[in-house]
Structure 1
Amino acid sequence: MPSPFPLIASPIRVDGVDLRNRIVMGSMHTGLEPEPERFDALARFYGDRARGGAGLIVTGGFAPNRAARVKDHPSLFDSRAAIAPHRRITDAVHGHGGRIVVQLLHAGRYGYHDEIVAPSPVQAPINRYLPAEMTDAQIRQTIGDYAASAALALEAGYDGVEIMGSEGYLISEFLATRTNHRTDDWGGSLQGRARFAIEVTAAVRRALGPDPIISYRISAADLIEGGLDNDETQWLARAVEAAGAGCLMTGIGWHESKVPTIAGAVPHAAFAGATARLKAAVSIPVIASNRINLPETAERVLRDGQADMVSMARPFLADAEIVDKALGGRAGQINLCIACNQACLDHYFLDQTVTCLVNPWAVRELERDEAPAARPKRIAVVGAGVAGIACALEAARRSHRVTLYDAAERPGGQLRLAAVVPGKEDYGRAIDNFENQLAAAGVETVYGTAVDAATLAGAGYDEIVLSTGVLPRALDIPGGDDPRVVGYTEILTGRATAGEAVLVIGGGGIGHDVALFLAHPDPGDLPALAAFEAHWGIAGTARHRPAARRVTMLKRSPGGFGRTLGKSTGWILRQELRDFGVRQIAGVRYLEIDAAGLHVETDGGREILAADTIVVCAGQESNAALATELAARGRPVHVIGGARLAGELDAKRAIDEGARLGNRL
């Protein structure tokens, strides 16, 4: 039977190494890199991805010397002591027929410690530390350190190295006039500024010899003022190819860029055009990256000649078997990366071990009991939101007979609601794939009918799990029953239509999503990529389309809006709301609603806010009444997700609770 993705499935040779397919698991920090005593977990993580079909794996970044480290707890590859721990990783990957390279990363001015260095003493806007200017001797020593680390990597069993030359780290800092103000041989002209990148590449090639892979991660688009333009980037690509690079991995944007690059707001394969320009400039393989999470997107990029290979990083967090599922005709069962960043990037920035919202076993594989249950049970899971789905799938995987109930016609709960918000379309795709996984796992599903306590208690289930979610909290003020007042579920499901002037009550994540949903203009005939590039000014000056409605957000608490949003994505949502003219009022006391509108009081006095529609996003309450009814019948239950704890809706916690309960039942 022919492969559904023939180009992905085709092998390729990079330097002297044969790769079994065209999918690369791109580099990600997991939080385990600084702790060699936890490399068994890291080896299992990478080994599972090799077993799942990755053609090539790139590790998280390791520093060639102390000044190079990203954080104060070092992830160093600078001595022979590193060889044995890393050998556990390479053995695990090679044991499953995979290939793996170690990324060598010098953080430069992006390092979060007081020993950072850079080509010039220019402080990064995202870092409180000021870098020291590197001397000529330090530059030459650092080039030697890259080569020494590469030689160690070869002894540790790696198939080569990746040189991190993008995203604003040290090599990028040498290349850009924004950060390189030197007047010696390491600065000035493009040739001078590129000298460090070229000499690092050449030194690593000498250390490795002709056959091991050298992947040079090149910034295909800097997206900052004072970065390289397209012609300069193509020149650099040819220069590092001549210096010994065997392939070019593309990176997009510096970390301080004001353009989203990997969040859900970015269209699929949005930067493949930048990769195509590099491919036209060199003869070595070029790898596309950023917001490619679907195999059909990867196949299209290859088919259109925009790249020779495709990098998927976070999609491998979401599903270790993404390649095998795609090539085996099971693409619809992939556990899909939704680009939320909540458990990967946000965890890393908070010094927590990385994992994945839709796959809480990622980087925690050793915590999972994979054996079939000693005694298979009959299990009822009530509520097919993400907590219930995760529990049902995991319990079925352990050989239990599971029935999943939900009063709605389709599963997904709050995550399906979120899928209509601009930038969260992949949430709907993820739910569709969950449905396919449930069917493949043999989970019986009963939708469209609310199951009661009597039915559950009398059905003879060994275990009952309640994941019945939350109920939106009503607006309890005089006039709260005004017909202009609607809940966020009515708006997001389309059961209610908002007017021209809208008030959104609530400043949490749901309030922000609803405000964006209501204010976001319809792109009309403008393709998604063109609309994205115009809005963020990628090809010139940003052009913001008029908002669809006049939206005002209100919240009781004082202070700025959006403090609970994700660390790596919240800035995008806040900027979009500003771009669409959304007004925000904090410290509000809601008084009443009458014909004139919503009466409020703030420190500035009383105000009447006229509105066609008032959308309530003022919190939720746990929907767990069924647990009390079952307890009265002598049937204890497990309560998970929003039914256990409403608070600010947290899909990450809900899925984790569901998966872990399903694993131990």
Structure 2
Amino acid sequence: MVADFPHLMSPLKIGARTIRNRVLVTGHIPGLEEAGHANPAFIAYHARRSQGGAGLQMTGTSGFHHTGHANSGRGIDLTQPGVEDGLGRLADAVHAHDGTFLVQLGHSVATVDYSDIGRPLWAPSPVASQVLKIMPRQMTRADIAELVAAYGAGAAKVRLSGLDGVEILGAFGYLPGAFFSPASNQRRDDYGGSIRNRVRFALEAAASVRAAVGPDLIVGMRIAGDEKMAGGLDNDDMAEIAALLSEAGSLDYLNVVAGTNYDRIMRWEHWPASPAPHGLFAPLAARIRTAVTVPVFVTGRVTDPGLAEQILARGEADMVGMTRGHIADPDIVAKVKAGEANTIRPCVGANVCINQAVSGKPVRCFHNPEAARELEFAADKPVTRPQRVAVIGAGPAGLEAARRAAALGHQVTVYETSAQIGGQLRLWANSPFAREYGLSVDWYEQELARAQVPIKLNTRLEPDDLDQIRADAVILATGSVPLTVRELPGKSGSGISMATPADVLMQTAGSGARHAVIADEGGRRNGLAAAEVLAEAGVQVTVVTGDPAVGEHVDGTVRTQLYRFLLQRGVAFRPMETVTGLAKGKVLTRNIYTGDAGEIANADLLVDWRGNRVVSDLEAAARARFAQVEVVGDSVAPRTVQIATAEGADAARRIG
């Protein structure tokens, strides 16, 4: 209830506007826009979060100059003729739900490759980012003046659209931040050297925006509270910069995060994934707040309203970002106000949303199939003729299928072979980096109980057992299982036992091991999850993979933390090798490029990960007996949790 969240649910005055609560959805690109314009899907995505009660929202970085676009074809592009028309429709949609919405203006400097023939990267100084490694052209004074004017021109279009203001993106090494930092600004003119000089560009850009939008719209800036980069700006430096920004008078707020895209680690860790601490950037905002007179926002793994309330109550910030939380559940505020905060679908920090965006794809959520598909799901209505639905399998696909079918009004029964629901997701939650994923299983268990969906555990169905099931439709979500371990040459007499990652996660293998070798040819997280568990238990671990790097297919926001975790525990990486056989106490390898033989000595366990195989034993029998059969998730092909849950939802929507 609101009484339990007095700070979070209280209004906040920002400039000339009053925001209905302290809940922020920070700038992010949902990947739905069309040629730089706000189309119906983009509008529906943001309007859904306004409908759910978010106090303040904004676009992701929006282009305002022919240089510095975040990515070709992604995000709002204010240089496009008529862009304010779509933004006007967005304003109408958000305002219909009493929301407040800003457009974020961003220039990516030397951190995103927008270069082309006759179009080099522009930056304060010729300093390449550690990630992109493309040397930019140093901006001239004429370039600086051109960009300052472009900020104003972009802001003028926002005003014409009827939206509520502008955020200038100065975090992540974007243009104002690149001028702030001595790591990226080595100029010797009025825009470099002293802190006051390095802040000059940001002040000019903010003044240009303010002049364009007038006194009644909101103007803010997103900044790093600490770049966390050698030679960069720390929290005290940023507090000094924040004070200069605040006292100049053009800005109504400062929005604090951490990191810079000039740094190879912070490029990823400014989006902290599980198991990073929750609310980890709040202390940075608290220091900034002591130096300024404008409201200060903060974000960084604030995934539940209870933590947001604590941050506000401690005075660390005036508004709290819960962006990934709102991708997982756009109704956070509505549920808080209704006294149903316990029903919020949790953000578990899997960073599927971030990985999708970085890959240039539409945002998706680990377990919210509606995210960035709002137009599709808006047409869903309760059924007029409920069907009896049997869901076979209680992994992610089956759980979402059952939940969705029950919500639509069908009579649902779930059948599960094991003693617990969750399938492989529950298994992964046994690994250090996926423990929070278990919250997803807990949420599904709670929601199915609320919907009074019976779950028959310890029920293994054979084809003939289907005759006993009374159903109008069947959803097969029987999933997949690991491929069995290989019969390697030399196994007999080697003294080395073999197991799959699942065996390690189930604790049926690995106990007593001294040196485990992970043969990771299946990629993604499974093999490395076994490495996590074994390394945490003090086992010596060596990871062998034919890929150019260990964890090559793991999301970058997870990989940096995962490398740190494994390397700090002495895990050895052997990329570009494949396991060829065993000898006494040895795992034999071969370099995939040179063919050179190698060996790993003193091994007593080989964890063999090559992928999963589909479990489809019931499909033919089901199709012979039932009028409607839907096959979803890993039962179709082994893939990801987000695809499994989406297919489960879509199958439920097709029933009838």
* Deviation of the 1:212 alpha carbon: 1.9
CA distance in 2, matches of 1:629, 1:41: 40
Shift of residue 269 of structure 1?
0.9
State whether structure 2 residue 142 is matched by structure 1 residue 144: no
Instruction: Determine the structure 1 residue equivalent to 2:615.
Output: 623
- The aligned amino acid for 1:415 is L
| Contact 1:380-1:461 within 8 A present in 2 as well | yes
Task: Specify whether residues 635 and 363 from structure 1 end up closer, same or farther in structure 2 by C-alpha distance, changes over 3 A only.
Answer: closer
Equivalent residues of 1:80, 1:152 under 8 A apart: no
1:354 aligned partner: 363
- TM-superposed deviation, 1:452: 4.0
Q: How far apart, in 2, do the equivalents of 1:131 and 1:435 lie?
A: 52
Deviations, residues 596-618 of structure 1 (Å, cap 9, x unaligned): 45566664436464334433433
Which residue identity is paired with 1:46?
A: H
* Matched residue type, 2:188: T
Q: 2: distance between equivalents of 1:480 and 1:280?
A: 68
Which deviates more from structure 2 when the two are superposed, residues 172-181 or residues 585-594?
A: 585-594
**Candidates 247, 252, 262, aligned match of 2:258:** 252
- 1:229 and 2:237 equivalent? no
Change (3 A) 1:212 1:498: farther
Q: Do the aligned partners of residues 601 and 163 (structure 1) sit closer, same or farther apart at CA in structure 2, a change above 3 Å counting?
A: closer
For residues 170-209 of structure 1, the aligned pairs below 5 Å read 170-209=175-214
**Contact conserved, 2:2 with 2:9, CA < 8 A, in 1?**
no
- Distance in 1, matches of 2:496 and 2:187, equals 66
Q: 2:169 aligned with 1:169, yes or no?
A: no
Give CA deviations for 1:292-314 in whole Å, capped at 9, x if unaligned. Answer: 11222212212222111100122
The equivalent residue for 2:551 is 562
Counterpart-to-counterpart distance in 1, 2:234 and 2:548: 40
Q: Give the C-alpha shift of residue 641 in structure 1.
A: 1.3
Which of the numbers 400, 413, 419 marks the counterpart of 1:403? Answer: 413
> Structure 2 matches for 1:108-123, cutoff 5 A?
108-114=109-115, 115=119, 116-123=121-128
Q: What is the Cα deviation at residue 560 of structure 1?
A: 3.4
The alpha carbon displacement at 1:77 in A equals 1.5
Cα deviation for residue 128 of structure 1 reads: 5.2
How many angstroms does 1:215 deviate by?
Answer: 2.0
| 2:518 corresponding residue in structure 1 | 504
- CA shift for structure 1 position 567: 4.4
SS of 1:3's equivalent in the other structure is helix
Amino acid at match of 1:430: S
1:309-328 maps to which residues of 2 (within 5 A)? 309-328=319-338
RMSD, aligned α-carbons: 2.5
Which of 406, 413, 429 is matched with 1:419 structurally?
429
SS of aligned partner of 1:359: coil
Alpha-carbon deviation of 1:56?
0.6
| Change over 3 Å in CA distance of 1:213–1:500 after alignment to 2 | same
Distance 1:584 1:236 in 2: 42
Equivalent-residue separation in structure 2 for 1:567 and 1:288 (angstroms): 23
Correspondence for 2:529 among 493, 497, 513: 513
The reply on whether 1:367 has 2:380 as its aligned counterpart is no
Relative to structure 1, the CA distance from residue 420 to residue 305 in structure 2 (aligned partners, 3 Å threshold; closer, same or farther) is farther
Secondary structure of 1:216's counterpart equals strand
Distance 1:148 1:591, change over 3 A: closer
2: CA distance, partners of 1:434 / 1:118: 48
* Alpha carbons of structure 1 residues 498 and 88: separation in structure 2 relative to 1, 3 Å: farther
Displacement of 1:283: 2.4
1:85 aligns with 2:86: yes
Asked whether the 8 Å contact 1:377–1:462 carries over to 2, the reply is yes
Contact 2:105 2:166 in 1 (8 A): yes
In the alignment, the residues of structure 1 paired with residue 243 and residue 351 of structure 2 have an alpha-carbon distance, to the nearest angstrom, of 34
CA contact (8 A) 2:302 2:322 kept: yes
Q: 1:333, 1:434 within 8 Å by CA — same for their partners in 2?
A: no
TM-score by length of 1: 0.89
On the 8 A contact 1:33/1:62 being kept in 2, the answer is no
Structure 2: unaligned runs, 5 residues or longer: none
Aligned to 2:102: 101
What is the correspondence of 1:236-315 to structure 2 with a 5 Å cutoff? Answer: 236-243=241-248, 244-257=250-263, 258-259=265-266, 260-261=269-270, 262-315=272-325
Question: How big is the shift at 1:194?
Answer: 0.6
Q: Distance in 1 between matches of 2:339 and 2:417?
A: 32
Structure-1 separation of matches of 2:568 and 2:440: 29
Compared CA separation, residues 408 and 3, structure 1 to 2 (3 A): farther
Task: Give the AA of the match of 2:500.
Answer: G
Residues 538-577 of structure 1 mapped to structure 2, 5 A cutoff: 548-555=538-545, 557=546, 559-577=548-566
Gaps of at least 5 residues in structure 1 are 522-547
Q: Say if 2:2 and 2:337, in contact at 8 Å, map to a contact too.
A: no
Distance 2:51 2:549 in 1: 46
1:400 offset after TM fit, Å?
A: 1.5
Distance, in Å, in 2 between the alignment partners of 1:381 and 1:462 is: 11
Q: What's the CA shift for 1:377?
A: 1.0
Query: Could you list the per-position Cα deviations for residues 530-575 of structure 1 after superposition, in whole angstroms to 9, with x for gaps in the alignment?
Result: xxxxxxxxxxxxxxxxxx22101234x4643322222443344245
Structure 2 counterpart of 1:578, which letter? L
Using the alignment, how far apart are the partners of 1:274 and 1:37 within structure 2? 35
The answer to whether the aligner puts 1:658 opposite 2:648 as a matched pair is yes
Larger mean Cα displacement after TM superposition, 193-202 or 611-620: 611-620
Q: What secondary structure does 1:417 align onto?
A: helix
| 1:62–1:102 contact (8 Å) kept in structure 2 | yes
The answer (yes or no) to whether the contact 2:472–2:627 under 8 Å persists in 1 is no
- The aligned residue for residue 381 of structure 1 is 391
SS in 2 for 1:570: helix
CA spacing shift, 1:331–1:94, aligned 2, 3 Å: same
Deviation at 1:467, TM superposition (A): 0.8
Q: Does 1:336 align with 2:325?
A: no
Instruction: Check if 1:487 corresponds to 2:500.
Output: yes
- Structure 2 counterpart of 1:564, which letter? H
Between the aligned partners of 2:630 and 2:173, the Cα distance in structure 1 is 48
The 8 Å contact of residues 222 and 228 in structure 1, kept in 2 or not, is answered as yes
Give the 3 Å change call, closer, same or farther, for CA 607–216 of structure 1 in structure 2: closer
Asked whether the 8 Å contact 2:614–2:635 carries over to 1, the reply is yes
TM-score (norm 2): 0.90
| Residue 651 of structure 2 corresponds to residue 637 of structure 1 | no
- Asked if 2 retains the 8 angstrom alpha-carbon contact of 1:419 and 1:426, the reply is yes
Q: Deviations over 1:313-356 (max 9, x none)?
A: 222111111222233232332222222223x2222232222222
CA positional deviation for 1:254: 0.9
State the alpha-carbon separation in 1 of the partners of residues 497 and 112 from structure 2.
52
Q: How much has 1:80 moved relative to structure 2?
A: 6.3
Instruction: Kindly tell me the number of residue pairs found equivalent between the two proteins.
Output: 634
For residue 121 of structure 1, report the CA deviation from its aligned partner: 2.2
1:12-55 deviations in whole A, cap 9, x for unaligned?
11112111111101111122345356611111111110011101
AA partner of residue 209 (structure 1): G
Is 1:428 aligned to 2:460, yes or no?
no
Supply the distance in 1 between the matched residues of 2:238 and 2:305 (Cα, whole angstroms).
28
- For the pair 1:581 / 2:594, whether they are aligned, the reply is no
* Alpha-carbon distance in 1 for matches of 2:235, 2:215: 29
Cα distance change on mapping 1:234 and 1:571 into 2, 3 Å = closer
2: distance between equivalents of 1:238 and 1:637?
63
Whole-angstrom distance in 2 between the partners of 1:587 and 1:572 = 23
CA distance in 2, matches of 1:296, 1:168: 31
Contact kept? 2:577, 2:589, Cα under 8 Å: no
Taking the aligned partners of 1:193 and 1:245, their CA distance within structure 2 comes to: 17
